[in-house]
Amino acid sequence: LETLGPSPEPNLTVLWSKRLPQGFKDYAAQISIKTSAIQYENDEVMRPVYGDDYGITCCVSAMKLGKMMQFFGARANLAKSLLLAINGGRDEISGDQLAPAMPVPADGVLDYATVRANYSRVLSWLAGLYVDTMNVIHYSHDLHAYEAGQMALHDSKIERLMAFGVAGLSVAVDSLSAIKYAKVTPVRGENGVTTGFQVEGDFPKFGNNDPRVDELAHELTHEFITELRKHDTYRQAAPTLSVLTITSNVMYGQKTGSTPDGRKLGDPLAPGANPMHGRDKHGALAAMKSLAHISYDDCRDGISYTMSIVPTALGKTPEQRVRNLTAMLDGYSGYEAHHINVNVMDRAVLEDAMEHPEKYPQLTIRVSGYAVHFIKLDRAHQEEVIRRTFYEAV
């Protein structure tokens, strides 16, 4: 990166441990501040699972090198799934019956217990459909396009993983929090499905180190992987789960109606496991602690968090910024959190790059599990990146 300049490839990952040499940690932090092109993953939570000879083989997922392979595909939209639970299994946009029919919550303020029970029914149905779909995809892929060349480089007897994923976790969690701690009344159209929600009162939001809502994130991910594990998988692959969206959070948001947390129809979901845009009000460390509530044991395919912080928040001098960033990464590792992308830049730089791309041919940012030249994103994705929280305080 120092020789060639900032670049999204190769997708560089530092396996972080407090026990790394201080000089290496400082150098990695310095390059992050300079290029925003590195992601960090917690060696302390992965090494007990995979041993010493492992690598990051997808965006953020670890595997034993030469001894494991992964079947992967798609993500389950947890935010839209919650709307199915509120609408009796019907799609909130088309009105079609998607999930099995279930009782629609009574008119008026939503009852948390009723919604939560419906939500569990939707997640159970969705997990079965997801596994069946993945089984068909990967059976067909092996039948018609078996990757013999790649598999020849593996041991003859390997461990197979089936990597599932979720999107919209923070939207679902904040929505459940709103129903539980505030008063949420659905607004329904002529066909009976929700077109919006009226929210009275405040509610805890994911990303502020508040256990009332952070534990809901742990609860949801644990419930969904538990449901996935109930089903037989192709070639007895072990189910894993990721909280990772790449850039699909924009597309998923376009297909998701207004949600009880206040997000509007078509608005992007938060990327990966990030708090929803602008809701993490208590600084970077509070958000990091919230992320750590999501258990790596439930999400072995990775828990992707993208942090954007302005340079001055890390310190006044280059030395202070390096020292503070390494301390933050040490702390994040100590919380037993899994993954973090680090972007160190001012929002104004991205806004200028959006209007004058010719000035920023090498401007690289971390998105959700990978890096990209900012000017190569389409306008919708650029706007979503700019809407994210840029921390001005640690």
Look at residue 3 in the predicted model and tell me its pLDDT.
85
Where are any strands of DSSP class E within the chain?
12-16, 38-42, 54-56, 62-64, 68-72, 76-77, 159-167, 183-188, 194-200, 238-243, 302-303, 306-309, 339-344, 364-366, 371-373, 390-391
Look at residue 367 in the predicted model and tell me its pLDDT.
86
Where are any strands of DSSP class E within 231-389?
238-243, 302-303, 306-309, 339-344, 364-366, 371-373
Please tell me the pTM assigned to this model.
Answer: 0.96
* Residue whose tokens read 């946009």: 93
The 10 Å CB-count burial string (b at 16+, else e) for 139-151 is eeeeeeeeeeeee
Using alpha carbons, select from 27, 37, 7 the residue that is nearest to residue 342: 37
Structure tokens at 381: 């994705």
Q: Is it true that the peptide bond before 48 is cis, omega within 30 degrees of 0?
A: no
User: Which SS3 state, helix, strand or coil, does residue 3 take?
Assistant: coil
277 contacts 308 by C-beta, under 8 angstroms: no
Look at residue 366 in the predicted model and tell me its pLDDT.
92
Look at residue 2 in the predicted model and tell me its pLDDT.
86
Using alpha carbons, select from 343, 344, 365 the residue that is nearest to residue 353: 365
Distance in Å from the first CA to the final CA of the chain: 26
39: left (phi over 0), alpha (psi -120 to 50) or beta: beta
pLDDT higher than threshold 80 for residue 156: yes
Confidence of residue 246 (pLDDT cuts 50, 70, 90): confident
108 contacts 185 by C-beta, under 8 angstroms: yes
Look at residue 369 in the predicted model and tell me its pLDDT.
77
pLDDT digits 0-9 by tens, 383-393: 999 999 999 99
The mean pLDDT of the chain is: 96
pLDDT digits 0-9 by tens, 111-151: 999 999 999 999 999 999 999 999 999 999 999 999 999 99
Count the helices and strands in the chain (H runs, E runs): 13, 16
Instruction: Kindly give the pairing relationship between strand 76-77 and strand 194-200.
Output: unpaired
Look at residue 210 in the predicted model and tell me its pLDDT.
98
86 contacts 186 by C-beta, under 8 angstroms: yes
Look at residue 360 in the predicted model and tell me its pLDDT.
96
231 contacts 128 by C-beta, under 8 angstroms: yes
With residue 217 as reference, give the H or E element that holds it. Answer: helix 211-228
Confidence of residue 294 (pLDDT cuts 50, 70, 90): very high
Look at residue 357 in the predicted model and tell me its pLDDT.
97
Cβ neighbours of residue 376 under 8 Å, at least 6 residues apart? none
pLDDT higher than threshold 90 for residue 165: yes
pLDDT higher than threshold 80 for residue 206: yes
Where in the sequence numbering do the catalytic residues fall? 58-59
Confidence of residue 58 (pLDDT cuts 50, 70, 90): confident
With residue 332 as reference, give the H or E element that holds it. Answer: helix 318-334
Look at residue 255 in the predicted model and tell me its pLDDT.
98
Cβ neighbours of residue 16 under 8 Å, at least 6 residues apart? 25, 40, 41, 42, 43, 329, 332, 333
In one-letter notation, the amino acid at residue 56 is I
Look at residue 233 in the predicted model and tell me its pLDDT.
99
User: Which SS3 state, helix, strand or coil, does residue 133 take?
Assistant: helix
Q: How crowded is the C-beta side of 346, counted as CA atoms within 13 Å?
A: 4
pLDDT digits 0-9 by tens, 321-348: 999 999 999 999 999 999 999 999 999 9
Structure tokens at 102: 């279930």
As a whole number of angstroms, the distance between CA 6 and CA 139 comes to 40
